Amino acid sequence: MLSTLRRIIQEVTVAKDLDQALEVIVLRVKKAMDVDVCSVYMTDKVQGENVLMATDGLNDEAVGMVRLKKDQGLIGLVGEREEPVNLDDAPMHPRYQYFPESGEERYHAFLGVPIIHHRELQGVLVVQRHSKRHFSEDKVTFLVTIAAQLAGAIAHAEASGGIDGLHSKARGAAPLQGQPGAPGVAIGTAVVNFTATNLEVIPDRVAGDVKAEVSLFKKAVKDVRKDIQSMLKRMTEILPAEERALFDAYLLMLEGDGISGEVVRRIKQGNWAAGALRETIAEHMSAFDAMEDDYLRERAEDVRDLGRRILEKLRSQEPPKPKKFPIRTVLVGDEITASMLAEVPVKRLAGVVSRRGSQTSHVAILARAMGISAVMGVDELPVSHIDGRSIIVDGYTGRIFINPPPTVRDEFKHLLREEAELSKELRELREKPAITPDNVGIPLYINSGLLADITPSLKSGAEGLGLYRTEFPFMVRDRFPGEDEQCKIYRQVLKSFSPAPVTLRTLDIGGDKMLPYFPIEEDNPFLGWRGIRISLDHPEIFLVQLRAMLRASAGLSNMNLLFPMINSVAEVDDALALLRRAHYELIDSGVSISMPHVGVMIEIPSAVYQVRELARRVNFISVGTNDLTQYLLAVDRNNARVADLYDSLHPAVLRALQQIVDGAKDEKTPIGVCGEMAGDPAAAILLLGMGVDNLSMSAANLPRVKWVIRTFTQRKARMLLKEALTFEYAHLVRHFLNAALEDAGLGGLVRAGR
């Protein structure tokens, strides 16, 4: 059963659209369960109906015609109950509804299970038999398992095929839902970015020059054939003839009418070579996958391997950059990385949409720093089918619209105008200080990691740089930057802000921030070797960075240093010892530099409980709420599947924050917050109430938070905090704070501050 299940899912996953996916499901499930009928009903959310979309067993003409209101019939019952309905004689059930066109009267036994994706009913999977007999527990669990696994694949197929087809009508102007990554709205053109090795995410693109694409493809095949022949030669002496047959099979697949012929045919129909290759390989893989014979089934992997080899050759022949990006480019991909962002000229980049990742992924943080809207974790993003299409990115609510109808487009244009007006009002606050009406100054700083965003940051009215993530300059190189190289970067940053304070954080790699030249293989990277742990284990890297920082500060007095991912006092002691050593070495060599102020990040739960001991050792504390939330709630900050559970307004996070602030105050150590929470206008009220001394955030969020600080007295914020701490649910805290923002006349921030 397990291998049957795996095969069906694989086939559905590579289906080109929903119709094909549903066809596969009904055919394969009927066969696997040895039943007389298998049908799929899909829920049409717009009409509130369950529609028969595919069947093997009922009359074909009934497809699309049998439509039941959501509360009608046995299908409605399955949907209502959200669990299997197993009947030995369905026509006798009071909820049974008869449709003459279906030819259903012949069947008695009925088993229906719901297809649920992200807690939402997608449809119902039904099997039926002539005989009057309950389905066994084995059959029920098989169908439940398959429906649970299929839900995601169906949602994906629906999104892939539903862009221009029939289903878009059923979906209406339904958007795809992800997570808000960076605030703002973008209306632009999707440009799919993909890596050369991932065949599955290659987009369809119109072939500019069919002849040229065909010859590119033929050249790639020729090169692959050559590689395989030389592999074969090398293997002749090592491998017995039957094992070498694999390579012969590869060569055969490349011959005339096989894969090559089909790709050429698809190119002639208009797709570019890489897209035509993806489609052909997917089709062949699913044919192999459907085979009963284990050996033949395994050949699907060979086909994929072959596809990857051809793709690699194809991509290596592509003309060198620069690529052309349309104005208002929306960068779309399976996983958008920082370097992909950097490829697009800043003026042309309007938005980012990534199938993976979430609000606190570093790409989202970068997008916020650059002031472009982003939506992350769009599970159902049909990456292969949207290149060049018109797209709307709503970075406030995490929705995207592909090929939006004019009504939706107009609505968003209106929103863009509103935004421009709000920004104008906010811009007027730029020169004004962040002081509450009861005279409490809360300096607002910005977070950054790029030299390029320093100027816009300064323009946002920041009073300093509260978090400079030094890992970004490390990430865009192909080796560790040397001491002089680092010194130059840090000095530029310090000088741009001087005399305003700048906090340089020491290297925080690991987790989701990998250096291409320093690979770390771990099962649980966020619980593994990251941040200060790596620095302390590699003093040769850490000391270089510390010396570069100290040298960069010569003659300036605005540098603070910050250690990330601190989990114990021992780590602080060790890091401080190395800092003193680096300082001593420089003094010893005749350079006169004073010791900077040093802080630690509180972002691991253990540090919450030792905040006083930590505070005693340093000059300031900075709370990293991105990681603190992740570790307190045990929710991976990049995992779209659990992103709903990630909420910095969770009562547990709020209580931890209050404890940190109180601990730091007891030790008279200044305390700031530098996680994304600091840039959320609603959360800023609570942080003000708790008594934090400063807030550091993405430049794009700073004007909104300044508005909050200039509107709410600390006294009022304390009262609101007291009440917020009585709520048991995060969403109630959010509603409560949104109401407070609206009461204060800052309703415009409610949507923006989601």
**How far is C-alpha 495 from the chain's CA centre?**
35
> Nearest 5°: phi and psi at 382?
-85, 75
Q: Which one of Mg ion, ligand PEP, none is in contact with 469 (Cβ closer than 5 to 8 A by kind)?
A: ligand PEP
CB within 8 Å of 205: residues ≥ 6 apart:
271, 272, 274, 275, 387, 388
Q: Which is nearer to ligand PEP, 419 or 627 (CB)?
A: 627
Binding test (CB under 5 A) with Mg ion, winner from 23, 471, 571, 627: 627
- Which residue of 334, 463, 627, 680 would you call a contact of ligand PEP, by CB under 6 A? 627
Q: Residue 513 corresponds to which tokens in the numbers above?
A: 């921030």
Kindly state the helix (H) or strand (E) to which residue 578 belongs, with its residue range: helix 569-588
Selected catalytic residue, list 108, 156, 362, 650: 362
Closer CB to ligand PEP, 121 or 623, in the complex: 623
The phi and psi torsions of 566 (rounded to 5 degrees) equal: -80, 130
Of 57, 624, 681, 691, which lies in the binding site for Mg ion, with binding defined by CB under 5 A?
624
Three-class DSSP category at 501: coil
HEC readout, 650-680: CHHHHHHHHHHHHHHHHCCCCEEECCHHHHC
Active site residue 487: no
- Shortest approach of ligand PEP to residue 683 CB, angstroms? 12
Nearer to ligand PEP by Cβ, of 398 and 624: the residue is 624
As measured in angstroms, the least distance from the Cβ of 154 to ligand PEP is: 35
11 contact, one of ligand PEP, Mg ion, none, CB 5-8 Å limit per kind: none
Looking at the Cβ atoms of 571 and 627, the one nearer to Mg ion is 627
Q: Does 469 bind ligand PEP (CB under 6 A)?
A: yes
Strand arrangement of the beta sheet that strand 329-333 belongs to: 176-177, 399-402, 390-394, 185-192, 329-333, 349-354, 373-376, 179-182
With beta carbons less than 8 A apart as the criterion, state whether 204 and 385 touch.
yes
3-state secondary structure of 646: coil
Which of the ranges 582-590, 618-626, 716-724, 739-747 carries the binding residues for ligand PEP, by CB under 6 A?
Answer: 618-626
Instruction: Report the SS3 class of residue 131.
Output: coil
Q: Is the dihedral of CA 391, 392, 397, 399 positive or negative?
A: negative
Concerning whether 362 is annotated as a catalytic residue, the answer is: yes
Q: State the nearest-atom distance from the C-beta of 648 to ligand PEP, in Å.
A: 9
Residue 428 buriedness (CB in 10 A; 0-12 / 13-18 / 19+): exposed
- Tracing tokens 């919450």 back to the chain, one arrives at 608
Distances from the Cα of 76 to the Cα of 101, 117, 155, 753, angstroms:
19, 17, 20, 38
Tokens at 408, concatenated: 């939706």
Of Mg ion, ligand PEP, none, which one does residue 663 interact with (CB within 5 to 8 Å by kind)? none
Site string for ligand PEP, 652-681 (x = CB under 6 A): ----------------------xx------
Among 57, 404, 624, 663, binds ligand PEP (CB under 6 A): 624
Binding piece for ligand PEP, criterion CB under 6 A, among 44-52, 150-158, 402-410, 622-630: 622-630
Nearer to ligand PEP, 648 or 714 (CB): 648
List the one residue from 213, 334, 335, 508 that touches ligand PEP (CB under 6 A). Answer: 508
Q: Which residues from 47-66 bind Mg ion, rule CB under 5 A?
A: none
Helix (H) or strand (E) holding 750: helix 748-752
Site for ligand PEP in 286-305 (CB under 6 A): none
Least distance in Å: CB of 144 to ligand PEP? 39
Decide whether 415 or 514 has the Cβ nearer to Mg ion: 514
Strands 176-177 and 465-469: unpaired
Residue with tokens 């300031």: 620
Q: Which one of the spans 45-53, 303-311, 616-624, 700-708 is the region binding Mg ion (CB under 5 A)?
A: 616-624
Is the Cβ–Cβ distance between 184 and 372 less than 8 Å?
Answer: yes
Judged by CB under 6 A, the number of residues near ligand PEP is 10
Question: Which does residue 636 bind out of ligand PEP, Mg ion, none, counting CB within 5 to 8 angstroms by kind?
Answer: none
| Site for ligand PEP contains 650 (CB under 6 A) | no
Output the smallest distance, CB 530 to ligand PEP, in A.
9
Give the interface with Mg ion as residue ranges (CB under 5 A). 603, 624, 627
Catalogue the active-site residues: 362, 674
Give the interface with ligand PEP as residue ranges (CB under 6 A). 467, 469, 508, 603, 624-627, 674-675
